[in-house]
Structure 1
Amino acid sequence: MGERALDGSRVAVVGASGALGSLIAHELSGRGARLLLVGRDADRLAALGIDAPLIVADVGDAAAGDAIAEAARAAYGGLDGLVNAAGVVAFGSLEETPDEVVEELFLTNVVGPLFLLRRLLPLLRESQGFVVQLSAVVAERPLPPMAAYSASKAALSAVATSLRTELRRARVTVHDVRPPHTETGLADRPLAGEAPRLPEGLAPEAVARRVVDAVAAGEQDLAAADFV
């Protein structure tokens, strides 16, 4: 897939109320994209100051994709891109990780994105659009003590790899993005456990810019090493 013009494109940013999602939304908006902002907190979405439809939804709710599709048709007549920037993290050995935490990790990081894609791919096929899946470096290099989290991000990357071939004839571009540790504050808000000692992470503004650059350039596989 080649370069993509973002000016005028219609893009849904899921997790737009989060630290990295909000920066990606601003980066896209600054390049002329017309957005749909999706998140769990209406006030935080409104505080972004971007003129765009706001959709309050949880990525783990199968109905979220239906709401996004309906809003995209109503506001813009379709959809050119989906950025999935929602995600949760947990720390601790596997045997110390509660069942409900494992379930939440996979619901938010894997199952929810699959729900979204099932409902939004028809629109993206129509526009020959793009999907950005924000995975993480642990998809490449699983780390202790975060076996469940690493597995969920690896699964998300597997979805992207499979879809890239599945959607090739439809000319839908699938971007698998696996940034290194980034200073978003997510590690300070785990579902369970305590973050291990981590090196200083990348600036989230730089990561957001690199992600949007990759979309514009048609880079489909963005490994951790591509951020340094």
Structure 2
Amino acid sequence: MTSLQGSSILILGATGGLGRHLARQLADAGAQLTLSARSMTDLEALGIPGQLVPADLTDPAAARTLVATAVTTHGRLDGVVNAAGAVAFGAVADTSDETIEALWEINALAPMRMLRAAIPSLRDSADEGRAPFVLTLSGVVSEHPTNGIGAYSAVKSALAAYVQVAAREVRKSGIRVIDARPGHTETALSRHPIAGETPKFPTGLEPAAVAQRIIAAIVGDERDLPSSAFSDVPAATSQMVPTDEAETSTGAHPAVTMAAQMPLEAAESAPVGSAVGSAPAPAAD
């Protein structure tokens, strides 16, 4: 079992619809938090104790800065939770290079840089007898690429592959790398695509319950969270976007059926490292 009491954890995308639940639950468990998102105003509005660090994750230097801040503030780094992300909708034929590049920077390159930057400090944590971890969210689309979000599915699949290799490489150092792949979670991310229009989709999973399942995996020393691991997580009681009755495949896993048209993470405001619209935000903060 991994104790969260007194542990130093860095959370990226802490103001998002899922990130804020993870942050609150980790704080309630006694973790010392370093909370990051693009907007300091949104970070302050959370009201969650911790070191607040606004950052643009498309900046190549951001990962090193965030790790250094966590270590300086709390004396060490024991865990990283990457809940930042952006989504774009549209057929493959209609997806621009600009959109693909923005999705790649935010959903793949940024967490890759963060994992790499955190390894030395996490090794130190392991050497001191703790149980350090990195948690990423590649989502069910990395298991089942989905029509209408081909570019998003592709970059999330790349992240999942990178994390799988990293997990094997750092395991002997005592670092656990966990990839969580819940189905569509009922948050506001879909209302802020960087391209395309939000489609109709079935009611998603309850975000607080998804966060609870992820934290249970951290505490329980689990090493992977496939979509099937979220099969007992309840659906939300209301929808962000109304939908018609969905057609489902009788042969599909329930988590895959629920997520058939959408990705997973969330942001209550504009996605970290991106702007609402068809173009990526400038990499400056």
State the TM bucket, normalised to the shorter chain: over 0.9
Distance 1:207 1:222 in 2: 11
Native 8 Å contact 1:62 1:116 kept in 2: no
Counterpart-to-counterpart distance in 2, 1:187 and 1:69: 29
For residues 31-87 of structure 1, give each alpha carbon's deviation from its aligned partner in whole angstroms, at most 9, with x where no partner exists: 000000011010111111122111110122111112112212221111000000001
Gap runs ≥5 in structure 1:
none
Aligned residue among 181, 197, 217 for 1:214: 217
Aligned-pair Cα RMSD in Å: 1.0
Secondary structure of 1:158 counterpart: helix
Q: Does 1:108 align with 2:111?
A: no
**Cα distance in structure 1, aligned partners of 2:65 and 2:186:** 31
Match of 1:96 in 2: 94
Q: CA deviation at 1:126?
A: 0.9
Q: Matches of residues 1-228 of structure 1 in structure 2 within 5 Å?
A: 3-128=1-126, 129-228=132-231
CA distance in 1, matches of 2:67, 2:178: 20
Amino acid at match of 1:93: A
In the alignment, structure 2 segments of 5+ residues that lack a partner are 127-131, 232-285
CA distance in 2, matches of 1:73, 1:149: 32
Q: Which amino acid aligns with 2:28?
A: G
Distance 1:178 1:171 in 2: 23
After superposition, give the CA deviation of every residue in 1:191-218 in whole Å (9 maximum; x if it has no partner).
1112333111001111111111110001
**2: distance between equivalents of 1:61 and 1:95?**
29
C-alpha distance in 2 between matches for 1:174 and 1:83: 10
Letter paired with 1:81: G
2:250 counterpart residue number: none
State the 1:119 CA deviation.
1.5
Paired letter, 1:136? G
The code of the aligned residue for 1:214 comes to A
Does the CA contact (< 8 Å) of 1:16 and 1:22 recur in 2? yes
* AA at the equivalent of 1:218: D
Q: Which region of structure 1 is more displaced relative to structure 2, 63-72 or 6-15? A: 63-72
Secondary structure in structure 1 of the residue aligned to 2:46: coil
Equivalent-residue separation in structure 1 for 2:158 and 2:172 (angstroms): 23
SS at match of 2:105: helix
The answer to whether the 8 Å contact 1:38/1:54 transfers is: yes
Q: Which letter maps to 2:17?
A: A
Aligned-partner Cα distance in 2 for 1:219–1:118: 21
Rg larger for: 2
Q: Which residue of 1 aligns with 2:252?
A: none
Query: How far is the alpha carbon of 1:157 from its aligned partner?
Result: 1.0
CA distance in structure 1 between the partners assigned to 2:93 and 2:21 by the alignment: 35
Q: So what's the TM-score if we normalise by structure 2?
A: 0.77
Identity %: 43
**Distance in structure 2 (CA, Å) of the matches to 1:78 and 1:7:** 14
> Which residue identity lines up with residue 64 of structure 1 in the other structure?
A
